[in-house]
Amino acid sequence: MRYFGTMAQSAYLDSIADKQGVLDALVRRFAVSVVGNGYIDIIVTTDRCYDFIKALTETGFLVEALSWWCHATDENKKSLGCPHGYGGPMTEAGWFSEMSHVIDEVSEVECATLDAQCSEGELRRINEGIAELIRCKQIGPLTDGSYLKLTPEGCLTPGIWVRVPQSWSR
C-alpha cells in the first residue's frame, strides 16, 4: 500500500488524529475478522459492509482500498468450489481465503486532494464510490468460466483498508 503524507503534511490525517478509539469501536462492532494488528484487511460480511462504510464516513475515516477474500465455509466448499484463494484467518463457520491478486485502491489524486484539504464532501464521495465498487464487484473468470460476485449467499467478502497514521496499531 502506498504511503500518504505525514501528520504534519496531511489535513486528512490531522482530522482523525484523536479518533483511534472511535475506529477501534467501529471495528469491534462490524468486523468478522481483522488480519494483523493494523487497520487493513478488516473483513466484513456482505450484510454489514455498507453500514461499516457509512459509519466510517460519518466519523471521518477514509476507505483507501479493498482486498478480497473467499469465505470458505463447508457449505461454500460444496456449492461454490471454495476456497478461491490462499491462506487466511479462521472463523466459526470456516476460514477466509485471501485472493491476494485482487486489490482495489483509491486513486493517488483523490488521496492527495484529502491530504491538501480534508473535505467532508470529498471523503463521502470517495467512500460512496468504494461502496458502489463493492456492489458491482465480480472476480473471474474462474477455471469453470464462472465469476464470483458479492451476494449474501456467495463467498466473496471485502477486506476494508482504512487510511490511518502509520503509527496506529490495534
pTM for the predicted model, two decimal places: 0.90
Q: Tell me what pLDDT residue 124 has.
A: 97
Domain count, the chain: 1
Q: Tell me what pLDDT residue 25 has.
A: 96
Identify each DSSP E strand in the chain by its residue range: 33-34, 42-43, 63-73, 90-91, 94-105, 138-139, 148-149, 156-162
User: Does any domain span residue 138?
Assistant: yes
Cα-based distances in Å from 58 to 24, 25, 95, 102, 127: 15, 14, 30, 27, 10
Residue 132: give the domain boundaries: 11-162
Pull the grid cell for residue 154.
Answer: 456467495
Long-range contacts of 75-79 (CB under 8 A, 24+ apart): 76/154, 76/155
User: Does any domain span residue 169?
Assistant: no
User: Does any domain span residue 90?
Assistant: yes
Tens of pLDDT, residue by residue, the chain (170 residues): 444 444 447 999 999 999 999 999 999 999 878 888 899 999 998 889 999 999 999 999 999 999 999 999 999 999 888 888 888 888 877 899 998 777 999 998 998 889 898 999 999 999 999 999 999 998 888 788 888 888 888 899 999 999 999 999 98
Identify each DSSP E strand in 88-149 by its residue range: 90-91, 94-105, 138-139, 148-149
User: Does any domain span residue 170?
Assistant: no
User: Does any domain span residue 37?
Assistant: yes
User: Does any domain span residue 123?
Assistant: yes
User: Does any domain span residue 167?
Assistant: no
User: Does any domain span residue 135?
Assistant: yes
